[in-house]
Amino acid sequence: WRDVVMPRPKDTTTTEAPKPWVRTIYDSAKEIVTPTVIAGITFSAEPDKESDPLKPWVSLKKDGSPVTIKPEIKNGRTKNAYPSYSTYFQNVYTTSLTYEDLGKPQNMDPDDIFEKEIFVDDDDTYTSLNPVMRCTPLSYFQKGPAKNILSEPFCSPREKTNLKVDDTYFITWYTKFFTHPVTEQIAEKVRLHFTYVKEDARDKNLHKR
Amino acid sequence: PEKATFFITEWLNNVDGIFPLEVQEAWLQGQAYRAILVTIQPDYINDDEFLPSTADNGLEFIIKLGSKVFKTTKEQLALQDAGIYNDSIYYIILAIPMCVVVTFVGMYFFLYLTKGNRDFSDIKSSVLKSRHRVIGRIKDIKKFRGIKNHKYEELPQFKKVSKQN
């Protein structure tokens, strides 16, 4: 036998509910940010005062359901760290530097012009408040019957996965995929269309009820 | 724009690149599962020009009812309230082992009552023993009469010869 463990009474006056907070953006402009909790993940939460390199982040499973990843240090190296996005969320500029600008390099002709690519990070004013891993072309998957079609612009969920009623899944896409064909400006707004399709005969009736 | 389209989101900030989707049971329209296609319409494409079925980006997946634990349904409860219990299956489940038990009990009493009327003397060991053919000694058999049976001799053994001996 063992002692009965009585459940703790629920604290109805919890302080864990995220509250709105104020932040300064773009020099002096201020705004009120209201955190949102979706599927247990708090979006737009107030950042900690001290930056934690081992701060948990949210990855997505194949079906788009969230999973929290906790980084840890093992043998002096950080395991399961927040992913780096390479240059996918950077803008590249080309600057021309003359012989004098470069300090007269010995192997450069004085009449030549050296072109240097400079990568500048995108504005992360709003994206930094998103704890979920962002979608980049590195996370694309192969789809189609022969698995030879790239899933762009989607990273999750995987094709033909089962999404259950009342569960929350995250559809993610690479934001820079949508560029205007003429102006090459990245689309500011998008919207999703959900459409019924006829299921392939080969996949029909193969779903577990 | 298309008949098969059943849900369109509001305009979202593309910079977020994420949309939380909670699957609604109404989308299944009474079916257990349905295949759906998700397409993204950027703001530089007009509503008239955007057709999900011909969009160059699209992702297909299945929406389905979740797992359910089987319980007595409302229909079954209504029938029970009306005094209708569809329990004929229990009679079948109980009848089969009962038939087996009754058969074995009947067999026991039948054997008990007829125990004096059985004669197994022809298969008793004494009867079988009497039927064994005695062939006699080997040397009396005509075929082996001329065989000379040598007595046992010891096998040659190795004798160690050493200087000490």
- Mean pLDDT confidence for B132-160: 78
A149 touches chain B (CB under 8 A): no
Q: Inter-chain contact B18–A171, Cβ cutoff 8 Å?
A: yes
pLDDT digits (tens, 9 = 90+) for A110-167: 888 888 888 888 777 777 888 888 899 988 999 888 888 888 889 989 988 989 988 8
Chain B contacts of A171, Cβ < 8 Å?
A: 18-21, 38, 59
Q: Give B48's pLDDT tier (boundaries 50, 70, 90).
A: confident
Q: Inter-chain contact B40–A190, Cβ cutoff 8 Å?
A: yes
Chain B contacts of A178, Cβ < 8 Å?
A: 14, 40, 42, 44
Who among A143, A177, A190 is closest to B12 (CB)?
A190
Contact at 8 Å (CB) between B10 and B41? no
Q: Nearest CA to B11 among A180, A27, A190, A127?
A: A190
Q: What is the pLDDT of residue B67?
A: 72
Q: Inter-chain contact B16–A180, Cβ cutoff 8 Å?
A: no
Q: Give A61's pLDDT tier (boundaries 50, 70, 90).
A: very high
- Mean pLDDT confidence for B107-136: 85
Which residue of A192, A198, A199 is the best one to mutate when testing the B interface, meaning the one whose CB has the most B CBs within 10 A? A192
Chain A contacts of B5, Cβ < 8 Å?
A: 193-196
pLDDT digits (tens, 9 = 90+) for B70-95: 677 788 888 888 888 877 888 889 99
CA distance A133 to chain B (A): 10
Chain A contacts of B21, Cβ < 8 Å?
A: 64, 163, 168-171
pLDDT digits (tens, 9 = 90+) for A81-115: 888 888 888 888 888 888 888 888 888 888 888 88
The complex's ipTM works out to 0.81
Q: Inter-chain contact A163–B32, Cβ cutoff 8 Å?
A: no
Q: Give B130's pLDDT tier (boundaries 50, 70, 90).
A: confident
Q: Inter-chain contact B37–A197, Cβ cutoff 8 Å?
A: yes
Q: What is the dihedral of CA B128, B133, B138, B141, to 10 degrees?
A: 180
Chain A contacts of B56, Cβ < 8 Å?
A: none
Q: Look at phi and psi of residue B43 and say left if phi exceeds 0, alpha if psi is from -120 to 50, else beta.
A: alpha
Q: Nearest CA to A124 among A86, A89, A82?
A: A89
How far is it, in rounded angstroms, from Cα A64 to Cα B125? 79
Lowest mean pLDDT among A117-121, B59-63, B95-99, B107-111: A117-121
What does the H/E/C string look like for chain A? CCCCCCCCCCCCCCCCCCCCEEEEECCCEEEEECCEEECCEEECCCCCCCCCCCCCEEEECCCCCEEEECCEEECCEEECCCCCCCCCCEEEEEEEECCCCCCCCCCCCCCCCEEEEEEEECCCCCHHHCCECCCCHHHCCEECCCCCEECCCEEECCCCCEEECCCEEEEEECHHHCECCCCCCECCEEEEEEEECCCCCCCCCCCCC
Chain B contacts of A152, Cβ < 8 Å?
A: 57
The per-residue pLDDT of chain B, averaged, comes to 84
Judged against a pLDDT cut of 90, whether residue B66 lies above it is answered with no
Q: What is the pLDDT of residue B101?
A: 97
Q: Give A51's pLDDT tier (boundaries 50, 70, 90).
A: confident
Q: What is the pLDDT of residue A173?
A: 93
CB-neighbour burial class of residue A127 (10 A; exposed 0-12, middle 13-18, buried 19+): middle
Q: Which residue of A has its CA nearest to B36?
A: A196
How far is it, in rounded angstroms, from Cα A32 to Cα A18? 13
Which residue of B12, B13, B15, B34 is the best one to mutate when testing the A interface, meaning the one whose CB has the most A CBs within 10 A? B15
Chain A contacts of B20, Cβ < 8 Å?
A: 38-39, 168-171
